[in-house]
């Protein structure tokens, strides 16, 4: 060890010891103002910056592998570090090892599917399960819900959001907040505001008329805050009218705090560093995940007088108000691991209720008297549980659509299944790092494979139509926060997909046999050019890890899709969402 390193360690020890000896105050719910008065300017500056790159994991109160970020601990004041983790469809951390065995989190259905249920009670139930898992794994805040408006159908993050309607988005978001926080775990309402695209999202300047901003983009957040009280609100990356939202005092101080009365913590979106003093002056309280340059900027602003202690103290109070709510501060201990089987069953139930039946000619669904099925589509055998990026939950399994159908008694054509199995194995060998672990292949390394081209084999589909009772065709689409979707071969179907639907419909209809198309998608796709060909179309969205089971439930009639029409507990839904009242 170098001499300089020893000096810093000794100084750090003395600093902590002096802080502890210099004042006997320990953080409590009723002494936050006193703690703020006792803290030095440097300590305050350090508290305002997330500690990802400022401290080692050994100095954290709790270290959770794969968590998004941490706040700084100050043992001398009894201030613990807190843990924040993504995301919108389940707790995003690395698999946890207990007694040598990996333990995972549950990948629940996407927000878009939840909105399709129109059932706030169902959302609250799912959110409660997410909160339970966070509590067991020592996470203090889940960074959800995202309620931005789906302004553009190609936004890569639409699957994380609820709707293009601010009322539906606001009430669904409130249900998510209330469900998670009922378990003593915080949430982060995001991204405030107008985060409606992923291309150039760090620098995008949204030009929105005030009327549209108030009535569409802000309205969902306002409604959510009327019906819930999230511990944190996360500001977005973008600008509005040339001003960064993270530095926009009119937005964060006037609208959010003064007009709407929000008194929680305002946290920045992750990375995308800005001018730190301007962020604090504008109303952001906590800069995440934290870097040394931000701390230096804040200290320089304090020293020069450019950054007032009034602004600093206000931000520190908001952080401490947040800290005293957390599991880390309460020192809650959860000995039992989460009931992942129960949560998987819940995920399956929610998924079925949120699927949308777009077409059902001659009531072909639910399937009756059908046994032998020709199952087409690469996604049918390698199904999509959810989107990529911060919503990518490390789950123990994904039930493919093929598996779900087989487990309820349907017989899939073996030759067709073998063909797709070989094709998907080739795609995996081509796209996936061979060093990837099994859990990585289910999450970060799980790719959506391009559709297999059936055109070279002129007889395959006809032979399938002769041998089986009906056809199910699966169209799959991936989506992620890293980029927006494209029109070609994404919003519009690819040539291979168009040929597959056309050929399957012609061959099976020629023999008076039905065709059902399943859309395993996170956002909308073009249907006008081909919707008249199949007999039924079911949007299954991103249905979570129990994808195949939930699809089978709907196809067999065990579950009615878009369940609020049939949901017995409709009276628990706010009147504004009660379809029976319209």
Nearest to 577 by CA among 113, 116, 148, 146: 116
Terminal Cα distance for the chain, rounded: 73
The answer to whether the peptide bond before residue 561 is cis (omega within 30 degrees of 0) is no
Give the CA angle between residues 70, 73, 78 to the nearest 5°: 140
3-state secondary structure 161-198: CCCCCHHHHHHHHHHHHHHHHCCCCEEEEEEECCCCCC
Q: Take residue 57 and report the two structure tokens written for it.
A: 């994991």
Nearest to 79 by CA among 408, 375, 319, 275: 319
Nearest to 373 by CA among 475, 473, 469: 469
The answer to whether 140 is a known catalytic residue is no
3-state DSSP percent of the chain in helix, strand and coil, to 5: 45, 10, 45
Burial of 317 (0-12, 13-18, 19+ CB in 10 A): middle
pTM of the model: 0.92
Answer left, alpha or beta for residue 161, where phi above 0 means left and psi between -120 and 50 means alpha. beta
pLDDT at 59: 80
Could you tell me if 109 and 541 are in contact, meaning their C-beta atoms sit under 8 angstroms apart?
Answer: yes
- Compute φ and ψ for 187, nearest 5 degrees: -130, 170
Helices (H) and strands (E) in the chain, counts: 21, 17
pLDDT at 14: 33
Which parts of the chain sit beneath pLDDT 70?
1-23, 53-54, 335, 563-582
The CATH architecture assigned to 356-561 reads: 3-Layer(aba) Sandwich (3.40)
Cα 67 from Cα 86, distance rounded (Å): 7
Give strand pairing partners of 404: none
Strand intervals (E) in 361-438:
372-376, 411-412
pLDDT at 562: 73
Could you tell me if 159 and 387 are in contact, meaning their C-beta atoms sit under 8 angstroms apart?
Answer: yes
Residue 249, H or E segment: helix 249-249
Nearest to 473 by CA among 490, 498, 450, 491: 498
- Compute φ and ψ for 5, nearest 5 degrees: -65, -40
Domain layout of the chain by residue ranges: 356-561
Find the catalytic residue in 140, 269, 535, 553: 269
The answer to whether the peptide bond before residue 193 is cis (omega within 30 degrees of 0) is yes
Q: Take residue 336 and report the two structure tokens written for it.
A: 């039992």
pLDDT at 564: 41
Helix 340-354 / helix 547-555 crossing angle, nearest 10 deg: 50
Strand intervals (E) in 331-465:
356-360, 372-376, 411-412
pLDDT at 16: 34
Cα 243 from Cα 241, distance rounded (Å): 6
pLDDT at 542: 97
Q: Take residue 8 and report the two structure tokens written for it.
A: 């810093």
pLDDT digits (tens, 9 = 90+) for 250-266: 999 999 999 999 999 99
């Amino acid at each position: 060890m170098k001499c300089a390193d020893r000096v810093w360690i000794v100084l750090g020890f003395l600093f902590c010891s002096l802080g502890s000896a210099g004042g006997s105050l320990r953080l409590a719910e009723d002494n936050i103002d006193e703690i703020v008065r006792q803290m030095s300017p440097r300590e305050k500056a350090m508290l305002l910056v997330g500690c990802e790159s400022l401290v080692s994991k050994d100095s954290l109160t709790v270290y959770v592998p794969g968590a998004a970020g941490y706040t700084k601990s100050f043992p001398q004041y009894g201030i613990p570090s807190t843990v924040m983790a993504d995301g919108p469809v389940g707790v995003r951390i690395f698999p946890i090892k207990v007694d040598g065995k990996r333990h995972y989190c549950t990948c629940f259905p996407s927000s878009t599917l939840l909105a399709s249920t129109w059932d706030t009670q169902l959302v609250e139930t799912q959110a409660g399960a997410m909160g339970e898992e966070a509590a067991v794994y020592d996470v203090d805040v889940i960074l959800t819900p995202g309620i931005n408006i789906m302004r553009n159908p190609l936004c890569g993050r639409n699957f994380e959001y609820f709707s293009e309607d601010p009322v539906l988005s606001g009430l669904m978001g409130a249900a998510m907040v209330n469900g998670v926080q009922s378990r003593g775990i915080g949430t982060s309402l995001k991204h405030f505001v107008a985060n409606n695209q992923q291309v150039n999202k760090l620098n995008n300047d949204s030009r929105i008329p005030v009327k549209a901003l108030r009535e569409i983009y802000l309205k969902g957040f306002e409604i959510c805050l009327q019906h819930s009280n999230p511990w944190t609100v996360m500001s977005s990356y973008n600008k509005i009218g040339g001003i960064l939202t993270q530095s926009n005092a009119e937005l964060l101080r006037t609208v959010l705090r003064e007009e709407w009365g929000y008194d929680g913590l305002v946290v920045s979106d992750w990375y995308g560093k800005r001018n730190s003093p301007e962020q604090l002056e504008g109303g952001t309280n906590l800069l995440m995940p934290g870097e040394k340059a931000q701390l230096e900027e804040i200290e320089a602003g304090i020293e020069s007088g450019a950054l007032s202690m009034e602004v600093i103290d206000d931000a520190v109070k908001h952080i401490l108000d947040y800290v005293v709510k957390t599991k880390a501060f309460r020192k809650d201990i959860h000995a039992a691991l989460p009931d992942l089987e129960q949560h998987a069953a819940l995920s399956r139930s929610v998924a079925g209720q949120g699927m949308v039946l777009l077409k059902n000619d001659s009531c072909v669904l639910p399937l009756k008297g059908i046994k032998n099925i020709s199952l087409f589509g690469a996604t049918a055998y390698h199904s999509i549980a959810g989107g990529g990026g911060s919503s990518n939950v490390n789950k123990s399994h994904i039930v493919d659509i093929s598996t779900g159908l087989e487990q309820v008694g349907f017989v899939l054509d073996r030759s067709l299944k073998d063909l797709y199995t070989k094709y998907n194995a080739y795609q995996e060998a081509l796209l996936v790092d061979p060093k990837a672990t099994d859990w990585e292949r289910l999450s970060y390394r799980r790719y959506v494979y391009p559709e297999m081209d059936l055109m070279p084999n002129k007889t395959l589909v006809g032979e399938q139509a002769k041998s089986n009772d009906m056809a199910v065709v699966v169209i799959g689409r991936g989506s992620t926060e890293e980029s927006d979707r494209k029109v070609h071969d994404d919003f519009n179907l690819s040539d291979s997909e168009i040929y597959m639907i056309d050929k399957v419909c012609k061959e099976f209809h020629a023999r008076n046999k039905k065709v059902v198309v399943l859309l395993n998608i996170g956002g909308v796709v073009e249907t006008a050019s081909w919707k008249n060909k199949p007999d039924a179309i079911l949007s299954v969205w991103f249905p979570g890890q129990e994808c195949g089971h939930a699809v089978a439930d709907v196809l067999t009639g065990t579950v009615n899709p878009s369940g609020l029409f049939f949901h017995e507990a409709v009276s628990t839904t706010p009147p504004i969402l009660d379809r029976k009242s319209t």
